[in-house]
Amino acid sequence: MKRIKVAVAGAGRIGKIHIENIFERFPRVELALVADQSPEAETYIKGKGLNYANGFDAIVGNSEIDAVIICSPTDTHANFVEQAAKAGKHIFCEKPLDLSLDQVVKTLQVVEESKVKLMLGFNRRFDPNFLKIKSMVADGKIGDPQILKITSRDPGPPPVSYVKVSGGLFMDMAIHDFDMARYIMGKEVVEVYARGAVLVDKAIGEAGDIDTALTTLTFADGTMANIDNCRKAVYGYDQRLEAFGSKGMVKVDNNFPDNHQYYSDAGVHGSLPLNFFLERYTTSYLNEMNAFFQSIQNGSDLPVTGNDALEAMKIALAALKSVKENRPVKVEEIV
Amino acid sequence: MKRIKVAVAGAGRIGKIHIENIFERFPRVELALVADQSPEAETYIKGKGLNYANGFDAIVGNSEIDAVIICSPTDTHANFVEQAAKAGKHIFCEKPLDLSLDQVVKTLQVVEESKVKLMLGFNRRFDPNFLKIKSMVADGKIGDPQILKITSRDPGPPPVSYVKVSGGLFMDMAIHDFDMARYIMGKEVVEVYARGAVLVDKAIGEAGDIDTALTTLTFADGTMANIDNCRKAVYGYDQRLEAFGSKGMVKVDNNFPDNHQYYSDAGVHGSLPLNFFLERYTTSYLNEMNAFFQSIQNGSDLPVTGNDALEAMKIALAALKSVKENRPVKVEEIV
Amino acid sequence: MKRIKVAVAGAGRIGKIHIENIFERFPRVELALVADQSPEAETYIKGKGLNYANGFDAIVGNSEIDAVIICSPTDTHANFVEQAAKAGKHIFCEKPLDLSLDQVVKTLQVVEESKVKLMLGFNRRFDPNFLKIKSMVADGKIGDPQILKITSRDPGPPPVSYVKVSGGLFMDMAIHDFDMARYIMGKEVVEVYARGAVLVDKAIGEAGDIDTALTTLTFADGTMANIDNCRKAVYGYDQRLEAFGSKGMVKVDNNFPDNHQYYSDAGVHGSLPLNFFLERYTTSYLNEMNAFFQSIQNGSDLPVTGNDALEAMKIALAALKSVKENRPVKVEEIV
Amino acid sequence: MKRIKVAVAGAGRIGKIHIENIFERFPRVELALVADQSPEAETYIKGKGLNYANGFDAIVGNSEIDAVIICSPTDTHANFVEQAAKAGKHIFCEKPLDLSLDQVVKTLQVVEESKVKLMLGFNRRFDPNFLKIKSMVADGKIGDPQILKITSRDPGPPPVSYVKVSGGLFMDMAIHDFDMARYIMGKEVVEVYARGAVLVDKAIGEAGDIDTALTTLTFADGTMANIDNCRKAVYGYDQRLEAFGSKGMVKVDNNFPDNHQYYSDAGVHGSLPLNFFLERYTTSYLNEMNAFFQSIQNGSDLPVTGNDALEAMKIALAALKSVKENRPVKVEEIV
């Protein structure tokens, strides 16, 4: 099997995860180049003995590179994806493709014309617990799915400076849950109703965002999903899912560092869930990268496509509109 | 302590629970009279050696009776409550007081003028699991409550004939959850958004009702509750609750007949939850009756009042209106 | 169905449980007489409006009494059982029958000759969790049982004054577990090895007893049971059971007052198990009394017999001998 | 930091784990050479692009190699360890060092004289669940440890041909649990009582071994441990631990591939535990190798020493003697 040559654009928090994974866990994938303009990243990259470039040009200009993994800031995504596509390189891009729906549509057209593969970083689809739910639902274990419930709470809010450019709670955080809802239910959302509130930090409200939300998704056949989001759960990262249907229900709990139970005179105690996405989704980051490489090497279908990004984004925009106008919003209104 | 004399009106399914409880568990409360017009009930009542009457008149006309427990069909509730109130008897009445908001308001006025105690049968408030959540929330263990989530699914739908006169899923079934939301959060609901669907049985839809619903309640301070209802969960009665706040989260699971775990080559197995309300809420039925008798004997406040019935009913009517008009409905619209 | 007339001898802690149960939960069983010599008991008995006697003679001399429930101190058991048997009354007796094996054998002979029913108070057999294990093992769900594990720890030791007359940890406390081992496995123990230690309170050691023990029971077919006992678990009453066999394993956990889980920044917390036998075994006390009355009324077999008491006692004596001599002891050595 | 050069002797099941781990997870450790005489291993080793040797001589004769990981058959361990020690190489050796106590003592002397580090493969000490128990016990969370309970059951027995050369259940399987008992309790075992039986497969008995055992360990201060072993649990690999003490109890459950709960009309179902040591102890194999490399690189103490191997072996021999003679055996009897 031919060894794939990949480049990584962006060696920030999430870029480093992919770099470490490729470096340590995919010995037959060659990490040919890492591009990042920050001095810290340069030190990190060279410290690992990797080839360093200070711009994306070095990636698109290198004809030996088969695929690029884009982990740079959101405002570079659409541009980099288009450049990579035109250069004939397969692309893995962290979400979101862009905060503008028009731009996303345009970028996806460029990708389609270029005939390269584009996979979006909805890594949670590769979490063993969620995969179990997906396979049980797909196997008909719960019969016809009727209600999906997603709990998705972060351990703490990002800096307000980040909140301002993030696209907001729905585009930045809940978009993973919107993708999950489509993925598990296997059908499209037609209407969205969301209530939002600022209950965690007033500064988030002053930045024009919300930090807490309850969202109801309705699918074409009348089945429903409920998502509860909060930017801050003092007990850590809360990621749970429950699917209820005509023949049963299946749910998964959070992941924990261990399963100890301690009984003292003060009660029964256990460990908190794994604190945040780096710890919780370690396996899913690895699995998604494996799926990306396998698709390139075997020519198999990608498990997450550009269209998935587009649909999740429309739901996020509908949710935002719903909060602003306090009414249910049809997804088809989002154009 | 003076022995209270109570009468029961209606010896159907729920009436029998109260009769058995009073008979067996409250030896110092005298079950003086049971009224019911059905021959089966007459046989049952006399078989237990209890005094039987075939009409409510015998209760209101008996000056020795201190209190009456009304478990007769819904369409008799308002009338019986008013008669009992005018006769100076304390009243425990199964929900709902009436399906007409005007009637409920009128009946509550009669009760208020009569200075008798009126307690409504929101028995779930007395469930040990829900009481634990209530006390922890009240004690500030979760800080400021932000999101309440209620799962409330029945093991199977009632007969369509019942559905037709029940007032519908919100008035008949979800009203317990609406009361629970007010009870746990300790504040009033100002807006309701509900999505309903017919996913269990088309006949329910043909009868003008829904069998599945997702409801979002918004409180005055922007905090929220989500309730998921379904008339049929094949695995039994599903009654769970989770309260999330600024300092933590507390949740309770269903109740089970035992906690065995069986490991075979086919997986890990456990018992299903207790199947329906008679089994699940055994303790809460006992506790609520105890609270009613204690309030009469000690002059303490009632834990559930006529106003609680009125507020829960308004939420139910708002939910119904929300489904019909597919928009969030303010509770103050319900008059 | 004829109403049974029963008398209770001894209105201490356990006597009161049975009195309350009969009084409140078995309206068709007549509690005809309660005998106890203490002034406190007299007050309690009369306060409940029950017939009081200050000696056991009043019970055996009353020809209308069908059955007697013996809850008096251990050193009266054998005498009272024999008197009751000779008077033709069915007998429920709290364990142990006596601390002397010879006496137990003699008393059982008297009972056998008298043709009355004698049931021993091994109430744990009637606990819903343990019953579930029993039925699953009996139904072959775990195949051939190979290893039984019992955890049985008290929340705190009894007073040393009680320890001195109790017969010791094995006769007083572990005897329930020895009975459980025979009951679940459905076969006889042939050999016992026990290690004992004084780890909780030196005064218990000075009184000639141990407070902690690990016991290995061997059945005739080579299968085994392990029992761990301690007089003090700071977290409450610890009563668990696990049966392992050729086709699977089944286990039950403790019982808890509620099943809440509280997530705070300090971890995940839950309620402690129900604290002691009065709370934990509420249902089993009720169920065992029901079984006793049913056996009398229907002529059905008793679920716990005098022989069960004898066999459990032999195991306890073998365990004691094993600790003293630090060697495995055959049950047949105990004569 | 200097890159360590390591060699692996033996590329069987466990050797491959270490090879993969070193190859993929320790990029700064150089896997310089792998020795194994089987043609299959040669193919595997060369297929990974690794340097291959068909004998141990190539390792000891290579002066550039710092450390050797011995995963060859048991009967080569002592010889290879001695050779490696004399050649000045640090050693990681899979258990057991040898089936002969005399040989183990002799080999440890050679190691001691050679001043090299020798770590034994008691990998379970590095399991996150067991580490949690260890740290909580060490931190005094349960007060004085009083009873340790270990459940250790394999999913199925090894081939009888392996059983015959394995040293038997205690030396081959339970030895991990004996090490765990010493590790968690932090003190030495003074006496052993074990009951063994052949309940899984008669052929194991015919080979002179047992397949099921209950072992009681007694420590010098009178505290105790109980270990239950079986070669076959139809539901998979059962590895649990519970430590009980004067101030509390802590326990850990098995590890599972996911934590889903599936509710259908047939009950509540979940996944079986991870099936065997390769899956269950993935993390611990990685952690132990990390500890070995760190000790070499940082000069820190080894977490598992030759003496640990010796003590666990003595307990195993005492257990074997106990079964044969059906009596408690002092560890000091084993010389």
Mapping DSSP onto H, E and C, the string for D188-245 reads: CEEEEEEEEECCCCHHHHHCCCCCEEEEEEEECCCCEEEEEEECCCCCCCEEEEEEEE
User: Using CA atoms, how far apart are residues C174 and C319, in angstroms rounded to an integer?
Assistant: 10
Please tell me the predicted confidence (pLDDT) of residue C229. Answer: 98
Angle between helices D13-25 and A13-25 (to 10 degrees): 140
Average pLDDT on B234-261 reads: 97
Under the banding of pLDDT at 50, 70 and 90, the label for residue B278 is: confident
Q: Which position has the higher pLDDT, D20 or D146? A: D146
Average pLDDT on A24-28 reads: 80
| Interface contact flag, B268 D263, Cβ < 8 Å | no
Please tell me the predicted confidence (pLDDT) of residue D1. Answer: 55
Per-residue model confidence as pLDDT tens digits over D143-176: 999 999 999 999 999 999 999 999 999 999 999 9
Report percent pLDDT > 90 for chain D.
93
**How many CB pairs lie under 8 A apart between chains A and C?**
44
Residue C2 has pLDDT above 80, yes or no: no
Statement: C4-116 belongs to CATH 3.40.50.720: yes
Which sequence spans correspond to the domains of chain C? 4-116, 125-280+311-333
Residues of C in contact with B252 (CB under 8 A): 258-261
Per-residue model confidence as pLDDT tens digits over D209-225: 999 999 999 999 999 99
Under the banding of pLDDT at 50, 70 and 90, the label for residue D142 is: very high
Average pLDDT on B188-211 reads: 97
**CA torsion sign, B5 to B7 to B11 to B17?**
negative
Residue C327 has pLDDT above 80, yes or no: yes
Single-letter amino acid code for the residue at C173: M
Residues of C in contact with B132 (CB under 8 A): 257-258, 260, 271
Please tell me the predicted confidence (pLDDT) of residue A281. Answer: 93
B247: exposed, middle or buried (Cβ count in 10 Å: 0-12, 13-18, 19+): middle
Under the banding of pLDDT at 50, 70 and 90, the label for residue C140 is: very high
Residues of D in contact with B236 (CB under 8 A): 263
Per-residue model confidence as pLDDT tens digits over A32-76: 999 999 999 999 999 988 999 999 999 999 999 999 999 999 999
* Complete DSSP assignment for D294-322: HHHHH-PPPSS-HHHHHHHHHHHHHHHHH
Residue C209 has pLDDT above 80, yes or no: yes
Per-residue model confidence as pLDDT tens digits over B58-91: 999 999 999 999 999 999 999 999 999 999 999 9
Residues of A in contact with B248 (CB under 8 A): 234-235
Single-letter amino acid code for the residue at C142: I
| Interface contact flag, A216 B214, Cβ < 8 Å | yes
Residues of C with CB under 8 A from a CB of A: 233-236, 238, 263-265, 267-272
User: Using CA atoms, how far apart are residues D229 and D154, in angstroms rounded to an integer?
Assistant: 8
Contact (Cβ atoms closer than 8 angstroms) between residue B230 and residue B240: no
Please tell me the predicted confidence (pLDDT) of residue A23. Answer: 82
Average pLDDT on C223-246 reads: 98
Contacting partners of chain B (3+ CB pairs under 8 A): A, C, D
Residue C27 has pLDDT above 80, yes or no: no
Mean pLDDT of chain A: 95
Average pLDDT on C25-33 reads: 88
Residues of C in contact with B284 (CB under 8 A): none
Give bridge partners of residue D196 from the DSSP assignment. D213
Cα angle D256-D261-D267, degrees, rounded to a multiple of 5: 120
CA atoms within 13 A on the CB side of A139: 11
Average pLDDT on A176-202 reads: 97
Please tell me the predicted confidence (pLDDT) of residue C286. Answer: 93
Per-residue model confidence as pLDDT tens digits over D98-126: 999 999 999 999 999 999 999 999 999 99
Please tell me the predicted confidence (pLDDT) of residue C1. Answer: 54
Average pLDDT on C264-288 reads: 93
Question: pTM for this structure?
Answer: 0.95
User: Using CA atoms, how far apart are residues B140 and B134, in angstroms rounded to an integer?
Assistant: 10
Please tell me the predicted confidence (pLDDT) of residue C5. Answer: 96
Please tell me the predicted confidence (pLDDT) of residue A316. Answer: 98
Q: Which residue has the tokens 């729906």?
A: A101
User: Using CA atoms, how far apart are residues A306 and A93, in angstroms rounded to an integer?
Assistant: 10
Per-residue model confidence as pLDDT tens digits over B149-189: 999 999 999 999 999 999 999 999 999 999 999 999 999 99
Average pLDDT on A63-92 reads: 96
Contact (Cβ atoms closer than 8 angstroms) between residue D48 and residue D58: no
Which residues 6+ apart lie within 8 Å of B143 measured at CB?
A: A234, B245, B246, B247, B248
Average pLDDT on A19-38 reads: 89
Per-residue model confidence as pLDDT tens digits over B218-241: 999 999 999 999 999 999 999 999
B12: exposed, middle or buried (Cβ count in 10 Å: 0-12, 13-18, 19+): middle
Statement: D125-280+311-333 belongs to CATH 3.30.530.20: no
Residues of D in contact with B263 (CB under 8 A): 233, 235-236, 238, 272
Average pLDDT on D28-56 reads: 93
| Interface contact flag, C234 D247, Cβ < 8 Å | yes
Average pLDDT on A295-317 reads: 94
Contacting partners of chain A (3+ CB pairs under 8 A): B, C, D
Question: Measured between CB atoms, which of A149, A216, A233 is closest to B249?
Answer: A233
| Interface contact flag, D262 A252, Cβ < 8 Å | no
| Interface contact flag, B328 A193, Cβ < 8 Å | yes
Per-residue model confidence as pLDDT tens digits over D43-77: 999 998 899 999 999 999 999 999 999 999 999 99
Residue A96 has pLDDT above 60, yes or no: yes
Under the banding of pLDDT at 50, 70 and 90, the label for residue A1 is: low
Exposure string over A186-214, b if 16+ CB within 10 A, otherwise e: eeebebbbbbbbbbbbeebbebebbbbbb
Question: Measured between CB atoms, which of D136, D253, D263 is closest to A248?
Answer: D263
Residues of A in contact with C267 (CB under 8 A): 235, 269-272
Per-residue model confidence as pLDDT tens digits over A132-153: 999 999 999 999 999 999 999 9
Q: CA torsion B72→B74→B75→B79, rounded to 10°?
A: 60
Q: Which residue has the tokens 């870029």?
A: A15
Contacting partners of chain D (3+ CB pairs under 8 A): A, B, C
